[in-house]
C-alpha cells in the first residue's frame, strides 16, 4: 500500500492483505479472524435472536400437512443422530422421527438415550438407542457393527463438547465424526440418496487452520480455540467428502446461539444470573428452534451435481456448501473452510493417517476420490 495509490487501489490492496493473512498465525491475522467472528458470527446471531428472527420451533415448521413437511416422509429410512440425549440432538431426533424416519439415538448416556427412544416409540415412531462415545475408537467400531450394515439414509454428526481439554475437544468434535462417517459409508452407500449433516458453529470463523499439536494438548480449552479448530476441521471434512464421494450429499448446518445444557455448563456460575435476568431467553435460541435449521439441512431436497467436472455455478455452489443458517442454505462461512488445499492438508496430515489403521477400506476410497484434486 503506497501513498501514491488511488483510494480504490488502497482498498483492494488491503483486501488482498487480509485474504493473504487469513491462514497465518500472526497477531494481525488472529485479530482479523477474531473480529470476523465477532461481527459476522456472534454479532449477527445476537441481532437475529434479539430481533425475534431466530427461527421457529420445528414442531410448527414441520407439522404434518404443512408445505415444508416432506411429501413422502422418511418412509422408515434409517437416520443416525449423535449426541441425541439432550439439547439440539434430542430435538433433531424427535423431528426426524415425526417426519417418518427410523431414528437411531446415538449417545454416551445410556439411561437418557433409552428414555428418549422409549418416548419416541410411545409416540408411534420407530426408534432405538445404541451407545456411542465419539472419543473412543472401540465404541465407534461397536456402533458400526451394531447397525449390521443396514441401509442408512441420514447421518447427523451433532455430538460435541466444549470447555474440556483440547485433546478431548478435537477427539469428540472432529476425529470422532470423521471415523464414524467412514465406518458408516458402506451402510450409506446402500441407500438411494444418502446424506450426511455436520453440525457446525460460527466459532470456525476464529480458526485459520487445524494444528496437529492440538490433538495431543491436554490443557484446558478455556479460550475455546480448540473448539474453533474442531468446527473448522469438521467443515473442511465436508468439503473433502463432497469432492471425493459424488454419490453422497454432505451439508453443514449452524444452529446459532443456543441455550443448550453444554453452553450452560460452560458458563458455570453465570448460568443462573443469565436465566433469571431474561438474557438467556432473549439472546439465545431454544434447542427446539435450533433444531429447525439442522432438520432443514437433513430434509433439503436438492442433490449434488452428477459430475464434479462441470464448472457450473451449481456445481461450484455444492462443492462449497450449502451452509444452513436460520433454515437457509446461504450462511456466511470462512474461506478457509472452502479452500481445498487446506482441506487436503488436514486429510493427509491428520485424518488419513489416523483413519487408515481403523477403517482402511473406506479411508482408501476417500483418498482415491481425492486423487483428482491433488496437485
Mean pLDDT of all residues belonging to the chain: 85
Cα torsion 261, 294, 321, 40: sign: negative
To 10 degrees, the CA torsion angle through 78, 81, 85, 89?
-130
Domain-located, residue 270:
yes
Averaged pLDDT for residues 274-286: 84
Domain-located, residue 260:
yes
Residues of the domain holding 258: 58-301+317-367
Say whether the peptide bond before residue 2 is cis (omega within 30 degrees of 0). no
Q: How far apart are CA 62 and CA 98, in angstroms?
A: 9
- Residue carrying C-alpha cell 431474561: 278
pLDDT digits (tens, 9 = 90+) for 154-207: 999 999 999 899 999 999 999 999 999 999 999 999 998 999 999 999 999 999
Domain-located, residue 8:
no
pLDDT digits (tens, 9 = 90+) for 97-134: 999 999 999 999 999 999 999 999 999 999 999 999 99
Q: Which three cell numbers stand for residue 223?
A: 479460550
Catalytic annotation, residues: 227
Q: How far apart are CA 63 and CA 32, in angstroms?
A: 42
User: How many structural domains is the chain composed of?
Assistant: 1
Burial of 302 (0-12, 13-18, 19+ CB in 10 A): exposed
Domain-located, residue 40:
no
Domain-located, residue 23:
no
Domain-located, residue 187:
yes
Q: What is the CATH number of the domain that holds 243?
A: 3.40.50.720
Domain-located, residue 363:
yes
User: In which band, very low, low, confident or very high, does the pLDDT at 305 lie, cut at 50, 70 and 90?
Assistant: low
Model confidence at 73: pLDDT above 70:
no
Q: Which three cell numbers stand for residue 279?
A: 438474557
DSSP state of 252: E
Domain-located, residue 374:
no
Amino acid at each position: 500500500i503506497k501513498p501514491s495509490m488511488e483510494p480504490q487501489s488502497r482498498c483492494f490492496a488491503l483486501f488482498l492483505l487480509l485474504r493473504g493473512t487469513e491462514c497465518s498465525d500472526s497477531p494481525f491475522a488472529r485479530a482479523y479472524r477474531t473480529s470476523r467472528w465477532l461481527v459476522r458470527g456472534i454479532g449477527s446471531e445476537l441481532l437475529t435472536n434479539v430481533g425475534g428472527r431466530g427461527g421457529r420451533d420445528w414442531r410448527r415448521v414441520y407439522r404434518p400437512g404443512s408445505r415444508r413437511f416432506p411429501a413422502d416422509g422418511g418412509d422408515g429410512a434409517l437416520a443416525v443422530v449423535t449426541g441425541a440425549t439432550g439439547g439440539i440432538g434430542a430435538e433433531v431426533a424427535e423431528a426426524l422421527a415425526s417426519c417418518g424416519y427410523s431414528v437411531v439415538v446415538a449417545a454416551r448416556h445410556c439411561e437418557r438415550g433409552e428414555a428418549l427412544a422409549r418416548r419416541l416409540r410411545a409416540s408411534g415412531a420407530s426408534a432405538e438407542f445404541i451407545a456411542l462415545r465419539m472419543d473412543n475408537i472401540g465404541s465407534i467400531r461397536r456402533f458400526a457393527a451394531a447397525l449390521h450394515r443396514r441401509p442408512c439414509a441420514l447421518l447427523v454428526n451433532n455430538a460435541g463438547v466444549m470447555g474440556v481439554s483440547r485433546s478431548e475437544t478435537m477427539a469428540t468434535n472432529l476425529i470422532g465424526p470423521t471415523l464414524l462417517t467412514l465406518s458408516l459409508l458402506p451402510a450409506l452407500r446402500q441407500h438411494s440418496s444418502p446424506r450426511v449433516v455436520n453440525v457446525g458453529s460460527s466459532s470456525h470463523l476464529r480458526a485459520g487452520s487445524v494444528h496437529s499439536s492440538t490433538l495431543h494438548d491436554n490443557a484446558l480449552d478455556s479460550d475455546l480455540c480448540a473448539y474453533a479448530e474442531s468446527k473448522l476441521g469438521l467443515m473442511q471434512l465436508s468439503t473433502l467428502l463432497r469432492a471425493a464421494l459424488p454419490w453422497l450429499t454432505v451439508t453443514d448446518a449452524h444452529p446459532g446461539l443456543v441455550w443448550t445444557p453444554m453452553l450452560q455448563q460452560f458458563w458455570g456460575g453465570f448460568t443462573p444470573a443469565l436465566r433469571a435476568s431474561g438474557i438467556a431467553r432473549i439472546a439465545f435460541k431454544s434447542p427446539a428452534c435450533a433444531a429447525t435449521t439442522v432438520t432443514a439441512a437433513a430434509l433439503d431436497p436438492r442433490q449434488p451435481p452428477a459430475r464434479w467436472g462441470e464448472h457450473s455455478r451449481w456445481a461450484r455452489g455444492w462443492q462449497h456448501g450449502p451452509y444452513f443458517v436460520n433454515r437457509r442454505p446461504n450462511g456466511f462461512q470462512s474461506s478457509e473452510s472452502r479452500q481445498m488445499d487446506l482441506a487436503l492438508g488436514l486429510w493427509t496430515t491428520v485424518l488419513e493417517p489416523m483413519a487408515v489403521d481403523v477403517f482402511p477400506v473406506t479411508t482408501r476410497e476417500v483418498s482415491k476420490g481425492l486423487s483428482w484434486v491433488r496437485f
